[in-house]
Chain A
Amino acid sequence: MSIVVSNISKTYGRQNAVDQISFTAQPGCILGFLGPNGAGKSTTMKILTCFIPPSSGKASICGYDVVTQSLEVRKNIGYLPEHNPLYTDMYVKEALGFMADVYQIPNKSKRIAEVIELAGLGLEQRKKISTLSKGYRQRVGLAQAIIHNPPVLILDEPTSGLDPNQIIGIRNLIKELGKTKTVILSTHIMQEVEAICHQIVIINQGKLVADDSIEGLKNSHPAKTLEEIFIYLTNAVLQND
Chain B
Amino acid sequence: MYNVLTVFAKDFSDYFNSLVAYITIGVFLVVTGLFLWIFPDSSIFEYGYAGLESLFNIAPYIFMFLIPAITMRSLAEEHKEGTFELLATRPLTDWQIVFGKYFASLLIIILALLPTVIYYVTIYQLGVTKGNVDSGAVIGSYIGLILLGAGFTAIGIFASAISKNQIIAFIIAVFLCFIAFSGLDSISQVLSLQNYDTIITSFGINQHYQSISRGVLDTRDLIYFISFTALFLLITKTKLGSRKW
Interface residues of A (CB under 8 A from B): 46, 49-53, 71, 74-75, 77, 79, 81, 83, 85-90, 94, 98-99, 101-104, 144
Contact = CB atoms under 8 A, between A and B. Distances in A.
Interface of B: 2-3, 6, 9-10, 13-14, 17-18, 81-83, 85-86, 88-93, 243-244
A50 B89 contact: yes
B6 A102 contact: yes
Nearest to A73: B91
B91 A102 contact: yes
A89 B91 CA distance: 22
Nearest to B83: A85
B2 A81 contact: no
Contacts of B17: 89-90
B14 A89 contact: yes
Contacts of A101: 6, 9
A75 B91 contact: yes
Contact of B91 (A98, A103, A144): A103
A contact face: mostly helix, strand, loop, or mixed: loop
B2 A104 contact: yes
Contact of B82 (A50, A77, A85, A99): A85
Contacts of A46: 85
A87 to B, nearest CB: 6
Contacts of B2: 104
A49 B81 CA distance: 18
A140 to B, nearest CB: 11
Nearest to B81: A85
B81 A98 contact: no
27 contacts: A46-B85, A50-B89, A51-B85, A51-B243, A71-B93, A74-B90, A74-B91, A77-B89, A81-B82, A81-B86, A81-B89, A83-B82, A85-B83, A85-B86, A86-B83, A87-B10, A87-B83, A89-B14, A89-B18, A90-B17, A98-B9, A98-B10, A99-B90, A101-B9, A102-B6, A102-B91, A104-B2
A20 B6 CA distance: 38
Contacts of B93: 71
